[in-house]
């Protein structure tokens, strides 16, 4: 069974890049009849906050990305300890005693010589006596995973194709701090094994992490999962934007954006498939294919999102929006105004047009014409098609046609120069209100 996971750290709110990663994992699991898991990466006790855990759950729920299960890293320390001890015993994890200042100095020396700042593995040269003396002096070690320099770090990425790194060009990653707390790399790999994750789907900024984790999986006797690294998002201006880090569910909700619009856009940008508005995600699930993901950065444009949102709103039935409409606004009113909306909240503006009162900007030259319209409105049959009946009588009695015929009527009846089809809107305004507005 295909198993994917979304693994945010609860140190802040989800932003649009996080949402896209969660969406890719959810789509792939649903496409393959698998499971989508939420893993809260809360090993950093100082920075993790419960309010952000709640916010992550709420954001995923708003988007419709319901996980099949949830786990928390803070509840899995015993498992990490077991795997860690086994790797130490096997010689794949070793203690290192350099201070942060010493490591920084080593990096500066290497960079000054034009060399890559790769850790020199000095800790592997320490004897038992050396380590005992350091610990007697109160120096506690941090722990590094020892890369096998004879084995390339390679995998066939579902998006990027064949990937290969030489282990000797990379530092042995620190997996545990001197205070015993965990860094990201090893617990993540342990969790993926324990949770049965088959596909790790994330952004291309994790490619170097994957290179290191490939050997961690192998050191624990497990075949690594499949990896898919999607290109990162850029702003509308075509470059990485700090603003993308501030755009999240709260922003979209406050802007009147529908969850389906966010899902529709983020599912398709960065792929060879066109962005289309799907109120139901079924076509997006059916069509997701990592082979169709591009290598170029994916361009996120709020203007495009707004356009997609309008097209989503035009598909929504009354039942889907009833709890967000003004009291008294029924299905017929919703269907009448829906084609003119870009956001559901705008329906309230059209409800005010229907209910009134209306203040139209009426030219003096049209006042006699509107008075005649009020007379004709009293004479027509309102049970059939009052708009076409009214305009037909006015055309015959006044000789007006085109804009001169229609625009003054629209202004008097709605206070606006444009809007829903008047044949649909006029019956909702009703006979008495219409005659009163024309007479006024």
Residues annotated within a binding site for ATP: 242
CA distance 26 to 20: 10
CA nearest neighbour of 191 among 292, 70, 323, 53? 70
Task: Kindly state the helix (H) or strand (E) to which residue 234 belongs, with its residue range.
Answer: strand 233-234
CA distance 189 to 92: 14
HEC letters along 78-141: HHHHHHHHHHHHCCCEEEECCCHHHHHHHHHHHHHCCCCCCCCCHHHHCCHHHHHHHHHCCCCC
Contact yes or no for 25/241 (Cβ under 8 A): no
- DSSP state, 161? E
Tokens of 25: 């994992």
Q: Which residues are annotated as a binding site?
A: 242
Tokens of 190: 């342990």
> How many CB atoms within 10 Å of residue 132?
11
Q: Is the dihedral of CA 17, 23, 26, 32 positive or negative?
A: negative
CA distance 399 to 386: 19
Which residues, in sequence order, are CB contacts of 126 under 8 Å at separation 6+? 97, 134
CA distance 47 to 112: 34
Q: In what order do the strands lie in the sheet with 174-176?
A: 93-96, 142-145, 174-176
**Angle of the 50-63 helix axis to the 16-31 helix axis, nearest 10:** 60
- DSSP state, 297? P
> How many CB atoms within 10 Å of residue 26?
28
Half-sphere exposure of 317 (CA within 13 A, CB side): 3
> How many CB atoms within 10 Å of residue 255?
14
């Amino acid at each position: 069974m295909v198993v994917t996971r979304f693994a945010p750290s609860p140190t802040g709110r989800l932003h649009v890049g996080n949402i896209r990663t969660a969406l890719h994992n959810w789509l792939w699991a649903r496409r393959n009849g698998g499971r989508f898991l939420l893993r809260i990466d809360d090993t950093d006790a100082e920075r993790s906050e419960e309010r952000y855990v709640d916010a992550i759950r709420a954001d995923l729920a708003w988007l419709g990305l319901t996980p099949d299960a949830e786990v928390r890293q803070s509840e899995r320390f015993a498992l990490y300890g077991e795997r860690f001890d086994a790797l130490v015993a096997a010689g794949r994890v070793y203690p290192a005693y350099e201070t942060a200042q010493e490591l920084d100095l080593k990096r500066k020396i290497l960079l000054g010589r034009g060399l890559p700042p790769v850790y020199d593995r000095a800790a592997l040269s320490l004897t038992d006596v050396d380590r005992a003396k350091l610990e007697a002096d109160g120096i506690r070690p941090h722990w590094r995973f020892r890369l096998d320099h004879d084995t390339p770090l390679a995998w066939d990425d579902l998006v990027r194709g064949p990937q290969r790194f030489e282990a000797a060009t990379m530092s042995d990653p620190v997996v545990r701090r001197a205070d015993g707390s965990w860094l990201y790399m090893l617990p993540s790999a342990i969790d993926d094994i324990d949770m049965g994750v088959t596909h790790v789907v994330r952004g291309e900024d994790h490619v170097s992490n994957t290179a290191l984790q490939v050997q961690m999986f192998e050191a624990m006797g497990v075949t690594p999962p499949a990896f898919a690294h999607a290109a990162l998002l850029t702003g509308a201006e075509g470059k990485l934007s700090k603003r993308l880090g501030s755009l999240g569910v709260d922003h979209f909700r406050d802007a009147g954006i529908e969850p389906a619009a966010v899902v529709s856009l983020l599912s398709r940008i960065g792929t060879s498939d066109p962005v289309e508005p799907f109120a139901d995600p079924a076509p997006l699930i059916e069509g997701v294919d990592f082979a169709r993901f591009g290598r170029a950065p994916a361009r996120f444009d709020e203007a495009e999102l707004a356009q997609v949102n309008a097209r989503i709103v035009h598909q929504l039935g009354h039942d889907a929006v009833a709890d967000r409409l003004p009291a008294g606004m029924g299905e017929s009113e919703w269907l009448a105004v829906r084609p003119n909306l870009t956001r559901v909240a705008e329906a309230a503006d059209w409800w005010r047009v229907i209910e009134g009162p209306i203040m139209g900007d009426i030219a003096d030259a049209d006042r006699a014409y509107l008075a005649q319209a009020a007379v004709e409105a009293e004479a027509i049959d309102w049970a059939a098609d009052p708009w076409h009946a009214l305009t037909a009588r006015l055309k015959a009695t006044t000789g007006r046609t085109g804009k001169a015929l229609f625009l003054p009527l629209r202004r008097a009846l709605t206070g606006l120069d444009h809007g829903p089809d008047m044949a649909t809107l006029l019956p909702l305004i009703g006979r008495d209100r219409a005659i009163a507005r024309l007479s006024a």
